[in-house]
Amino acid sequence: MNFAKRKKSVVDFLFILALFGAFAITALFVVLFGAQIYKSTVSNMSTNYEKRTALSYVTEKMRSHDSTGGAEVVDIGGGRSALKLYQESDGKKYVTYLFVVDGYLTEFTADESYDFKFDAGTKILAVSDFSVEKESSSLYHFIVKDSNGENTEFYVTMYSGTDGDDSE
């Protein structure tokens, strides 16, 4: 048998074409599935980043103001709450507010006598909603809703100034 002189038929051409087509379709599906998985991973990472960052940021702010009377929950209107943190430095008293405005967790720090303004804060992180409740004399309950609408709830305990009175 002499394979070198064998005539090529239409069936041989169609087989090679079908094999190439199957390879191309398989490669296309692999790329499409990979892109979908990548998109899902990026979305999940973004959501987790927002949640972890909000949790860490608020917790660290609470810890840095952990003193007797260092934190207070205030109503800022429209059913919204804000965290009001007190600090004294060089004999001056300062107040830091954490609240949500225009879809961002916002921080505003000023002298205690300064009039609080929503538009003067620094945007920290994109979130849909932020609420805080004082559960007891030392326990605060936070709910942060991320940009995807998922709630993250966490509790922070203030250690200083706890007198055992949980009647609040």
Predicted TM-score (pTM) of this structure = 0.69
Strands laid side by side in the 92-101 sheet: 71-77, 80-89, 92-101, 104-111, 122-126
CA dihedral 37, 42, 48, 53 (to 10 degrees): 170
- 21 in a domain, yes or no? no
Residue 130 lies in a domain: yes
What is the pLDDT averaged over residues 53-69?
Answer: 84
Number of domains present in the structure of the chain: 1
Residue ranges making up the domain that contains 85: 44-157
Residue 31 maps to a domain: no
What pLDDT sits at residue 70? Answer: 82
Cβ 77 vs Cβ 99: under 8 Å: no
Residue 17's pLDDT band, with cuts at 50, 70 and 90, is: very high
**98 and 118 Cβ atoms separated by less than 8 Å:** no
High-pLDDT (> 70) share of the chain, %: 89
Q: Is residue 20 part of a domain?
A: no
Q: Is residue 149 part of a domain?
A: yes
Residue 24 lies in a domain: no
Is 72 within a domain? yes
Identify whether the C-beta of residue 86 lies closer than 8 Å to the C-beta of residue 70: yes
Residues 6+ apart with CB under 8 A from 130: 54, 98, 99, 100, 105, 142, 143, 144, 145
Nearest partner of 110 among 125, 93, 98, judged by Cα: 93
Q: What pLDDT, on the 0 to 100 scale, is given for residue 165?
A: 45
Residue 108 scores a pLDDT above 50: yes
- Partners of 103 in the β-ladder: none
Q: Is 104 contained in some domain? A: yes
For 84-100, write each residue's pLDDT tens digit: 898 888 888 899 989 88
